[in-house]
Structure 1
C-alpha cells in the first residue's frame, strides 16, 4: 500500500569520519514542506562539531525549545534530525538500527492500511492487499453520515477478504461521545478488532469512559506529540492499544521512551506510517504488535521494504536501511 504523492523532507548527516546517514519526515501538506525543511536546516546547523550522541542531543534540543514548544512543525524537525543521527550512528557501527537498540531483524506482522472510501472501493482494495501482500489484517476509514453505511462498508470488506483476515477501523477523531458508543457497539457485532481514534486525541476522559462501554479495543496514539502525551493518555486509561507515530512521538529517542511506557502498562504497541523506521523500532519494542503498511517513500528507494505472506521482512542493512534512488530524487525534488 503506497501513497503515490507525498511531501517529504530528507535530512542528511555527515561525520568527520566520512559516514553519512539520513532520515525523512512526512509533514502531510506541501504548505509545510518549506517551513519544515528550514527548521531542519537551521537546527541542524547548530549541531556541527557535536559528538554523535542522539539521545543527549534530543534532550538538549527539547529543553532548548521548551518555551516555543516541542509540538507541530518543531517536533517534526527535531524527530527528523533524531532519526538521521541514529541512522548515522548505526551506519558507523555497520549494523541495522534495531541491533544498535539491542534487538535483531525479524519478520513483523503487518496490517494493510487502505486509502479508499466507501464499500465498493474499499472491498476491491482490501481484496487486492490480501492477495498481493498476504495481509492478515486490513484497516480503513469510516465516518459516513449514516451508521448503516459504515456497517455496509465493513460487510463488503469482510466479503472481499474472508473470515481469516482481521478488520480494523479508523474514525480520525470524528465522533461525539454518544455516537462513538453507538457505532462501537454496532461494530462489535461485526467482529471488528479495533476502533481507532473515535474521539479527539486529547479527550482522555471520554476515551476512558468509552472503553468501559465496549468490548471492542480502542486504539490510538498517532497524534501524540512526544512521550508525555502518551504517558498522560495511558495513565488515564484512555486506550487498550497504542500506535505512536515515529515523527510525532520524537524520532528514535522518543519512540524508545514510548516503548518503555507501553511496556510498563502492558499495552500492545503498533506503528503509524514510516515503514522503514518502524521496521527497525518494533523489534526493540517489548509489546510490539503490528506494523502499519502505508508506504510514503517507497517510490524513491532502490529497495522498498519487502512484504511476504503478511510479514514485513526487516532488512539486515546498516541504519534504517534507506537506500535512495538518485534518479527518483532528482525527478521529484522540490524547491523548498
Structure 2
C-alpha cells in the first residue's frame, strides 16, 4: 500500500480565502409594465439590479452566485452583502447549511427575511455552485435529479404593455423556440380588456396548449372571486397571485372554490412565510424564488414542505438557477422562461419540445459575460485571492 501524499490539500479542510461582490444593473430593452404599474403602485421596470458573489478558496475552487432586485432594493442588497461577507473568510465552503445560519444571524437585527435573505442568496448559490463543480457534477445531479429536462412556459412576451397583436406574435415565437406554455399578465382596471386578451390568446393557441395568467396581487377579494369564476372557462394551468402575496387565507378560499389551480409564493422571502401558505392551503402551485428566499439551502426546505403537503411547484424567474432545482422535484414542475438575464452569461439554456434542458456542465454551468463590466456600479472584495 502506498503511503498517503501528506503534501496534497485535505479536501475536507478547504477554506474560503477571497470573495468579490458586484452590484450590476442590467438594462431592459423595453420598459416593463404589469398590473402594479396600472394601479399606480410601481413605475415601469427599466432595469434589474443584480448582486453577484464570486467565491474562491485556498485550494483553488471557485463558485458563482447571484441574487437580484426589481425596481428598488439593489443598493440595499449590495450594502448588506458587503457587511456580512467577511463572516465567510476562513470558513469551510462545504459547510453550506452552517454558513447560511451564520450569515442570517450576522444580520438578524434587520430581520431573517426580505432584503437580508436576498443578499445571502448570492453567497449561498455560489457555495452550491462551487460544491457541484468540485464534484464534477451539474447542480441538479449533485442534489439528485429526477429528470434531465423540465416543462417550461414563457412570461416575458405577455406583459400588459404589449399590444394584443404583438402578444399573439410573441406566443408564436415562444412556441417556435420549443417553449411549452404561455403566461399572460392580467389585472387591467377594466376587466373586460383582460377577458378579451385571454380569450383571444386561448383561441390562438387552441384549447389544450398550456396557458396561465398572473394578476400580480392587484385584485381585491370580490374582484378575484369574480375573475376566477370567469377564467374557469379558459382551461388555465393556474391563476397566479390573484390577491396580496401575504393573504394566505384569501388564496386558500379561492383554491377551495375553483377548479383552476391557484399559484402564488414568488414574493415570499423566508421558509416561514412559505410554511404559512402551505399549512393554510393557500396555493395549489407554490412558486418559491431561490434568490429571494435566500438561496438553494432554504429553497430545498420549502420544496420539501410543499412536496409533503402534496403541492405542485413552479419556481419564479431566474431560470438559470431554477432549471437545476426544478429537476430535483418528484412531481413534474414548471420552469419560467425569461430571456432577460441572458446577456449576463456566456451560456444559453436550450428549449425543445416544450421543455428546458438541464445543463450538464459542472455547477450552474454559468460564466459571466464581458458585458457585465459595463453594467457594474460597484465592487467590493474581501480576503486575499489565492
TM-score when normalising by structure 2? 0.81
Q: Matched residues in 1 for 2:244 and 2:56: separation?
A: 40
Residue 245 (str. 1) matches residue 245 (str. 2) = no
Asked whether the equivalents of residues 119 and 152 of structure 1 are also in contact (C-alpha less than 8 Å), the reply is no
Match of 1:172 among 201, 216, 219: 216
> Displacement of 1:288 after TM fit?
4.0
> Displacement of 1:209 after TM fit?
1.5
Gaps of 5+ in 1: none
Larger Rg: 2
Q: Matched residues in 2 for 1:295 and 1:81: separation?
A: 23
Q: Superposed, which structure 2 residues align to 1:74-113 within 5 Å?
A: 74-103=116-145, 106-113=148-155
Deviations 1:37-89 (A, max 9, x none): 22223211221000111111112323343332022221110111111111111
Corresponding residue of 2:206 = 162
Deviations 1:175-230 (A, max 9, x none): 01111010001010122221100001111111111222211110011011111111
Q: Matched residues in 2 for 1:331 and 1:60: separation?
A: 33
Asked whether the equivalents of residues 130 and 161 of structure 1 are also in contact (C-alpha less than 8 Å), the reply is no
Which of the two has greater strand per residue?
2
Asked whether the equivalents of residues 266 and 287 of structure 1 are also in contact (C-alpha less than 8 Å), the reply is no
> Displacement of 1:324 after TM fit?
1.8
Gaps of 5+ in 2: 1-26, 30-46, 380-386
Match of 2:166 among 117, 121, 127: 121
Corresponding residue of 1:275 = 319
Over 3 Å counting, the alpha-carbon distance change for 1:87 and 1:201 in structure 2 is: same
Structure 2 counterpart SS, 1:35: helix
Residue 22 (str. 1) matches residue 64 (str. 2) = yes
Over 3 Å counting, the alpha-carbon distance change for 1:33 and 1:277 in structure 2 is: same
Q: Matched residues in 2 for 1:181 and 1:164: separation?
A: 24
Structure 1 counterpart SS, 2:81: helix
Structure 2 counterpart SS, 1:303: coil
Corresponding residue of 2:40 = none
- Please, what is the CA RMSD of the aligned residues? 1.9
Corresponding residue of 2:375 = 332
Q: Matched residues in 2 for 1:41 and 1:88: separation?
A: 20
Match of 1:183 among 222, 227, 250: 227
Match of 1:11 among 48, 53, 60: 53
Deviates more, 1:158-167 or 1:211-220: 158-167
Residue 227 (str. 1) matches residue 268 (str. 2) = no
Asked whether the equivalents of residues 130 and 363 of structure 2 are also in contact (C-alpha less than 8 Å), the reply is yes
> Displacement of 1:3 after TM fit?
5.5
Count how many residue pairs are aligned between Structure 1 and Structure 2: 332
Q: Matched residues in 2 for 1:244 and 1:200: separation?
A: 16
Over 3 Å counting, the alpha-carbon distance change for 1:169 and 1:3 in structure 2 is: farther
Q: Matched residues in 2 for 1:122 and 1:139: separation?
A: 11
Q: Matched residues in 2 for 1:141 and 1:264: separation?
A: 30
Q: Superposed, which structure 2 residues align to 1:307-318 within 5 Å?
A: 307-318=351-362
Q: Matched residues in 2 for 1:324 and 1:104: separation?
A: 28
Residue 37 (str. 1) matches residue 78 (str. 2) = yes
Over 3 Å counting, the alpha-carbon distance change for 1:204 and 1:284 in structure 2 is: same
Structure 2 counterpart SS, 1:320: coil
Match of 1:62 among 104, 108, 111: 104
> Displacement of 1:104 after TM fit?
6.2
Deviations 1:153-178 (A, max 9, x none): 01221233233411100001110111
Corresponding residue of 1:130 = 175
